[in-house]
Structure 1
Amino acid sequence: MAVEFALVIPILLIVVFGIINLGFVFAQQIALSNGARQGARYAVVDDRTCTQIVSETRNSAETVGMTASQVPTPVISPTCSGSSKPCSGTTAGTNVTVTMTRSATWAVPFAPLFTSGNAPTLVGKGVMRCEFK
């Protein structure tokens, strides 16, 4: 009985840790996508500044295993910074794109499968059309 347990436990641990880690990575991917979409929507409504958009995007992407301070700074297109507004002075139908890229973190590091060197790169992207000029 002990021999069978010793043979099965490593495989069982890999499967269990794999399920836990993939759940965390999936939650981080969903949070990045939702945060980017929220940031894009926030950008096109009520003429918001880039600083406000970045703050809203980062706060919206917070999740399990990824606090607001760990959320990457979003890239906003058309390019803007500080107090500029991405929809101001644009032509009708201009899209605002918010993109966030981050390397995933494992909830349970487990060598050799779940190490920081083999964590996937996660990308969240949100696109919305400017509602005003």
Structure 2
Amino acid sequence: MTTPRRSGRPDHGSGRWGGVGIFPGPHGDRGAAAVELAIVLPVLLMIIFGIIDFGRAYNQRLILTEAAREGARAEAVGANASQQVTNVVNNRFVPTVSVTPCPTGAAPTPPSATVNLTATFKPITPLGKTLSWNVMTARGVMTCVG
């Protein structure tokens, strides 16, 4: 009986791919996962923090815009604009309210009531605290009724 021919390559260790070269084997890559995590984790956290703070800021912006629109509508029909703004905001944040009431007397153009709101956004993540988009404004304008 003849012995099978070997390919002439030396055996460099156990494991599926051998023990040297670009395929180091079962024990040659210890700690690689920790290094990869250390590289990827900060980027991943920045993305997650950005999504959280951007979502909260966008929500506050929508509420502020709605409150300005409702305040202008209330002022246009003769109701209390500041009270309507407070009802819409519902203690989520405290805006600064500036109201231009409907003018009395005849005007050449249709008169309108204007409500300007300013609020400060408070981020909750470390990434949001480094950005400078914390002051938000909104303006609501409605044509006065009677």
TM-score calculated relative to the size of structure 1:
0.75
Following the alignment from structure 1 to structure 2, what is the Cα–Cα distance between the partners of residues 33 and 91?
A: 29
Q: Which has the higher contact order (CA 8 A, sep 6+)?
A: 1
Amino acid at match of 1:11: V
Q: CA RMSD in A?
A: 1.9
Runs of at least 5 residues in structure 1 that lack an aligned partner in the other structure: 78-85
Match of 2:85 in 1: 57
Would you say how many aligned residue pairs link Structure 1 and Structure 2? 112
Counterpart of 1:82 in structure 2 is none
- Contact 2:96–2:119 (8 Å) recurs in 1: no
Structure that is richer in helix per residue: 1
Alignment of 1:1-133 (within 5 A): 1-45=33-77, 47-48=78-79, 52-62=80-90, 67-68=91-92, 70-77=93-100, 86-87=101-102, 89-91=104-106, 93-106=110-123, 108-110=124-126, 113-115=127-129, 118-132=132-146
CA distance in 2, matches of 1:8, 1:116: 21
Structure 1 vs Structure 2: percent identity of aligned residues? 32
Bigger radius of gyration among the two: 2
- Structure 2: tracts of 5 or more residues without a match: 1-32
SS in 2 for 1:115: helix
- Post-superposition Cα deviations, 1:51-90, rounded to whole Å, max 9, x if no partner, equal x21011122134xxxx25x32131001xxxxxxxx33624
Moved over 6 A (4+): none
